[in-house]
Amino acid sequence: MTAATLLAETCMPRFARGTRLQYDRVREQWFVQAPERAFLADAVAAEILQLVNGKRSLAKIIDQLADKFSAPRDVIAQDVLSMTQELADKQVLLLA
Amino acid sequence: MTRSAMIKAPPPMSLLAELTHRCPLQCPYCSNPLRLDPRAGELDTATWMRVLDEAAAMGVLQVHFSGGEPMARPDLADLVRHAVSLGLYTNLITSGVLLNRDSLKVLSDAGLDHIQLSFQDADAQEGERIGGMAGAQAKKLEAARLIVEDGLPLTLNFVIHRQNAERVPAMLDLAEQLGARRVEIAHTQYYGWSLLNRDALLPDRAQLEATEQAVAAARARFGNRLAIDFVTPDYYAERPKPCMGGWGQRFLNISPSGKVLPCHAAESIPGLTFPSVAEDSLEAIWQDSPLFNLYRGTDWMPQPCQSCAFKEDDWGGCRCQALALAGQADATDPVCHRAPAHDRIEQAIAERPATPPAFRYRRYSNTV
């Protein structure tokens, strides 16, 4: 069983204080800014994190991305749930 | 043709802004240089503002306001506010002894992103002896409480050495009790003040291993609730660390008087000219100054680094440590088991006295 299977799609993730997604105009890449480190957000992570605002449920985020990329919902859901769990483990996202 | 003319260096990721060398504490392992900058030579607010503008334009992502004690500068909140307006991630590295409800509120309102708070020990009496400041521990505990109450993410920093290593479990417990999100258990590295105090600080291998076990146990206990950064002491490492992620690769340091350095200890290397923000732009210094190109990349490397498979992993290790131990800044870091001067490390460990000598505290008057 993966941790991602435990995440409910009703949960509404938000960035913990002191963490954020930021576009770096110099490198032309997205970064997650966090205490004492900045790490690169790949294209998938950047698409997901741009929709994280504390008011949008994971279900809504998955729907929007499935629509935007005309991709099967279950494929998108897997990406969104696993990444959300991973960033929650790193204390970047809070789940509520 | 110089190397810099051929290849443009990648933009720096982070800037350590040492606003002042003044500090109420006098820790014997302070990372500041032995020759401390006096207050009279400190950059003014307008110059720091311009430096922050230039740093953001170059691609710096995070700025760490440090010192000395950066809260000794009355313009700290203005600098934080300006950095925030530029999209820079702002981190305050503080001893906490000047922090109170009012000064924290001003920083929090300015948009400060994170605070790293130092403790010298979990034990108050020992911590105050190590830091050389009576009454410091209560102030630090109150600072931690106020920071967590405000909601700012908090990292505790503990510098580890032979005189506090046994209390690493208590330090980890303290971090959890105070509600820190991260804790750094960082063994001392030896240059500058800590090299001067090496016999008083260097742990033995059994002490090091006990700290490793304490960290492993705490990681199992705390899981994701508390992130633990453990920094091993170079002297007991198998391979040198990639100091600053490589000279002139990711990191800039600006001293209180405006000197721009590839690392905070670089001023220990003699015969170098240190560029200043008063004379050149940060971009020009980063890309074109002789200092930043001196040990950038791999062209400068001696053997055995030059033919080593790890040369772009560790970048030859630490230049200041090479100078301190091998007498030459362009030698292979003696930490490396393949370094010609590796015996200096073994010698320092072998000659470590059974009883630690008295500290030589970091003070303006103890400057050598």
Number of domains in chain B: 1
Neighbours of A63 (CB within 10 A): 16
The beta-carbon neighbor of A35 closest among B11, B151, B153 is B153
- The answer to whether residue B4 sits within a structural domain is no
Per-residue confidence (pLDDT) for residue B82, from 0 to 100: 98
Per-residue confidence (pLDDT) for residue B6, from 0 to 100: 53
B8 in contact with A, Cβ within 8 Å: no
Look at B224 and A90 and tell me if their CB atoms are within 8 Å.
yes
Model confidence band, residue A3 (pLDDT cutoffs 50, 70, 90): very low
- The answer to whether residue B7 sits within a structural domain is no
Between CA B36 and CA B42 the distance in angstroms is 11
Per-residue confidence (pLDDT) for residue B8, from 0 to 100: 83
CATH of the domain at B66: 3.20.20.70
Q: Using the predicted structure, report yes or no on whether residue A1 has a pLDDT greater than 50.
A: no
Identify the residue among B8, B54, B61, B86 best suited for mutation to test binding to A, counting A beta carbons within 10 A and taking the highest.
Answer: B61
Residues 6+ apart with CB under 8 A from B144: B96, B117, B154, B156, B178, B179, B180
Enumerate the known binding-site residues of B for [4Fe-4S] cluster.
Answer: 23, 27, 30
Which pair of structure tokens corresponds to residue B176? 């959890």
Between CA B283 and CA B54 the distance in angstroms is 7
B227 in contact with A, Cβ within 8 Å: yes
**B112: closest chain A residue by CA:** A18
Strand ranges of the sheet holding A37-41, from the earlier edge strand across to the other edge: A20-24, A29-34, A37-41
Q: Residues B11, B301: contact at Cβ < 8 Å?
A: no
The nearest CA of chain B is from the CA of A59 a distance in Å of 25
Helix (H, G, I), strand (E, B) or coil at B83: helix
Q: Residues B127, B136: contact at Cβ < 8 Å?
A: yes
Longest dimension (CA), chain A: 41
> A16-91 has which fold?
Arc Repressor Mutant, subunit A (1.10.10)
| Chain A: residues touching B (Cβ < 8 Å) | 16-19, 22, 24, 26-27, 31, 33, 35-38, 88-91
Which pair of structure tokens corresponds to residue B143? 């600072």
Look at A17 and B116 and tell me if their CB atoms are within 8 Å.
no
* Residue recorded with tokens 């350095």: B261
Average pLDDT over residues A19-40: 95
Per-residue confidence (pLDDT) for residue A7, from 0 to 100: 85
Each residue's pLDDT tens digit, A15-28: 999 999 999 999 99
Each residue's pLDDT tens digit, B82-123: 999 999 999 999 999 999 999 999 999 999 999 999 999 999
Look at B181 and A26 and tell me if their CB atoms are within 8 Å.
no
The beta-carbon neighbor of B13 closest among A22, A38, A91 is A38
Q: How high is the mean pLDDT of chain B? A: 94
Percent of chain B whose predicted confidence (pLDDT) is above 70: 98
Identify the residue among A29, A30, A36 best suited for mutation to test binding to B, counting B beta carbons within 10 A and taking the highest.
Answer: A36
- The answer to whether residue B238 sits within a structural domain is yes
Each residue's pLDDT tens digit, B115-148: 999 999 999 999 999 999 999 999 999 999 999 9
* Total-model pTM: 0.95
Q: Residues B72, B42: contact at Cβ < 8 Å?
A: no
Q: Using the predicted structure, report yes or no on whether residue B269 has a pLDDT greater than 50.
A: yes
The beta-carbon neighbor of A18 closest among B58, B64, B153 is B153
Between CA B178 and CA B144 the distance in angstroms is 7
B182 in contact with A, Cβ within 8 Å: yes
Per-residue confidence (pLDDT) for residue A5, from 0 to 100: 52
Look at B59 and A33 and tell me if their CB atoms are within 8 Å.
no
Between CA B286 and CA B306 the distance in angstroms is 24
Of the candidate ranges A31-35, A52-56, B269-273, the one whose mean pLDDT is the lowest: B269-273
Percent of chain A whose predicted confidence (pLDDT) is above 70: 94
Residue B265, Cα to own-chain centre: how many angstroms?
A: 9
Average pLDDT over residues B288-317: 92
Between CA B130 and CA B141 the distance in angstroms is 16
Q: How high is the mean pLDDT of chain A? A: 92
Each residue's pLDDT tens digit, A72-88: 999 999 999 999 999 99
Q: Using the predicted structure, report yes or no on whether residue B368 has a pLDDT greater than 90.
A: no
Interface pTM, i.e. ipTM: 0.92
Give the H or E element holding residue B116: strand B114-119
Domain with B17, as residue range(s), is 12-367
**B58: closest chain A residue by CA:** A26
Look at A89 and B224 and tell me if their CB atoms are within 8 Å.
yes
